[in-house]
Amino acid sequence: MKRKRTTPLDQGQLNPGSCSPELRVQILGNAPYFRGLPADALDAVNRHFRSIDYPVGAMIHHEGEAATSFFLVAHGKVKLLQHSVSGEDVVLDLLSQGDLFGGLAVLGRRKYPLTAVAQTDCCVLAITTADFRHLLRTHPEVALATLDGVAHDLEAAYDTIHAISTLPVEARIASALLRLAERLGETDNKGVLIQSPLSQQDLAAMVGTTAETASRVISSLRRSHLVETGRQWIRILDRSGLERIAAEASAAG
């Protein structure tokens, strides 16, 4: 009889008010739009952000709502969802400390394109559109850093579109797992553990394929001893093996 896999998922608990002043400065100083700013400009940025605690499952913003702010994850994890044509919410991305979301809301986007939900108890830093535009007008170094950040975001979006349109699905899934491991993974004695309620439908949506195809690829990766999976977790056993799959496909493309 096949032994049922157990889950090592441990969401843990975060203390309310965990966004300390020191953490705020650290998070903002490493954020894509503010990295490299001088201390006085970073202090001005910090004064315009507010800290908000969300319990697990809380809605941060909803797809289609007027985009009035953007956010940075200070503690915990946030998932970005999109409402599918079948009526289900599909996870398109998972965010952890330092990740920015809703960013283009302050740069002309009128509505949030995705729903953001607290995957764990979390603390986020938020700034309104009006306050951010004030920073752009009064601190040229913030405007320049923002342009660099937007250019990076557009390049990443182009790379994603290019991968979906040219790479085989196995390479796209391998790349997605490597990205998740880099951002959310926890190294243990067996590999890199990604703890998340990420379904195969969610993974399929992230790489532009069907749930059936994603399931088939994950099964193949398991048989090759590259990954192991359980309920709400996946562990990368052979990172170099996944890197070879992604790299070989990219070179061929």
What's the rounded mean pLDDT across residues 193-222? 86
Tell me whether residue 4 is in a domain: no
Residue range 190-205: mean pLDDT, rounded: 83
Residue 93 within a domain: yes
Assign residue 104 the CATH number of its domain.
2.60.120.10
* Tens of pLDDT, residues 135-157: 888 888 888 888 887 777 777 76
Please tell me whether residues 185 and 62 are part of one structural domain.
no
Last residue of a domain, one of 104, 131, 162: 162
31 and 90 together in one domain: yes
Last residue of a domain, one of 131, 162, 193: 162
Q: What's the total number of domains in the chain?
A: 2
The domain spanning residue 223 has which CATH number?
1.10.10.10
pLDDT for residue 162: 66
Q: Are residues 156 and 176 in the same domain?
A: no
- pLDDT score at 108: 62
Domain interval for residue 226: 167-252
Report whether 245 contacts 171 (CB < 8 A): yes
Q: Give domain status of residue 6, yes or no.
A: no
Is 8 within the bounds of a domain? no
pLDDT at residue number 103: 63
pLDDT band at 9 (very low <50, low <70, confident <90, very high): very low
Closest of 76, 81, 62, 67 to residue 27, by C-alpha: 76
Residue 59: the pLDDT is 95
Q: Which residues contact 66 (CB under 8 A, 6 or more apart)?
A: 110, 111
* pLDDT single digits (tens) 155-176: 776 676 666 667 889 999 998 8
Q: What is the pLDDT of residue 5?
A: 40
Clarify whether residues 247 and 214 are in a common domain: yes
One DSSP character per residue, 70-129 reads EEEEEES-EEEEEE-TTS-EEEEEEE-TT-EESGGGGGT--B-SSEEEESSSEEEEEEEH
The CA-atom distances, in angstroms, between 102 and each of 115, 171, 185, 206, 226 are: 9, 28, 23, 18, 34
Asked if residue 10 belongs to a domain, the reply is no
Region for residue 30 given its phi and psi (left: phi exceeds 0; alpha: psi -120 to 50; beta: otherwise): alpha
221 pLDDT more than 90: yes
pLDDT digits (tens, 9 = 90+) for 39-96: 888 888 898 999 999 999 999 999 888 888 889 999 888 988 887 766 677 777 888 8
User: Do 200 and 245 form a contact (C-beta atoms < 8 A)?
Assistant: no
Please tell me the predicted confidence (pLDDT) of residue 160.
Answer: 67
pLDDT band at 236 (very low <50, low <70, confident <90, very high): very high
- Amino acid letter, 213: T
174 and 123 together in one domain: no
In this structure, the chain runs to a length of 253
72 shares its domain with 191: no
What pLDDT score does 60 carry?
Answer: 95
